[in-house]
Amino acid sequence: MKKPNDIILHAVTKVAVPIILAFSFHLFFSGHHNPGGGFIGGLAIASALTLLFLAFDIETVRANIGVDFKVVAAIGVLLAVLTGVGSFFFDAPFLSHTFDYFNLPIFGKTELATAVLFDIGVALAVIGTSVTTILSISEDR
């Protein structure tokens, strides 16, 4: 038997992963007014990483993405809790969020809400948890 080479799978993965990542960022940022949000955006990023793990080696991807995903999950939960704690500084109940309109250079009038910070926490927790689960199942240790 000849040794298989995965050149088609590799080439298509290199094109597909940026599209999945772009779509997951779109899902993440559209979560306030459209379907989407932190959970599904995080899952889409985790699925892009899973495609990388499937097409290439786990060691290869690990060497290129030097992130410990257990730490990512911990940072996500910490960020979500800290946005709740932050409302104490403004004499508001726990987890009360606010928003305001700003004039940004490129985007023009933009609504910036502190709920996005909470959503980033959710997304990081989802990415960390799912990738850690996949990696720990797939390794024989």
- Binding to another protein by residue 21, rule CB under 8 A? no
Q: From the list 14, 15, 94, 117, which residue makes contact with another protein (rule: CB under 8 A)?
A: 15
Q: How far is residue 106's CA from residue 80's CA, in Å, rounded to a whole number?
A: 28
Which is closer to another protein, CB of 23 or CB of 53?
Answer: 23
- Binding to another protein by residue 7, rule CB under 8 A? no
Which is closer to another protein, CB of 27 or CB of 125?
Answer: 27
The three-class DSSP label of residue 102 is: strand
Q: How far is residue 18's CA from residue 69's CA, in Å, rounded to a whole number?
A: 20
Q: From the list 18, 19, 65, 68, which residue makes contact with another protein (rule: CB under 8 A)?
A: 19
Which is closer to another protein, CB of 12 or CB of 104?
Answer: 12
Helices (H), the chain: 7-29, 38-55, 58-64, 69-86, 115-138
Q: How far is residue 92's CA from residue 87's CA, in Å, rounded to a whole number?
A: 5
The three-class DSSP label of residue 2 is: coil
- Binding to another protein by residue 108, rule CB under 8 A? no
- Binding to another protein by residue 56, rule CB under 8 A? no
Angle between helices 115-138 and 69-86 (to 10 degrees): 160
The three-class DSSP label of residue 33 is: coil
Which is closer to another protein, CB of 12 or CB of 112?
Answer: 12
- Residue 23 CB, shortest distance to another protein, in Å, is 7
Binding stretches for another protein (CB under 8 A) = 1-2, 4, 8-9, 12, 15-16, 19, 23, 26
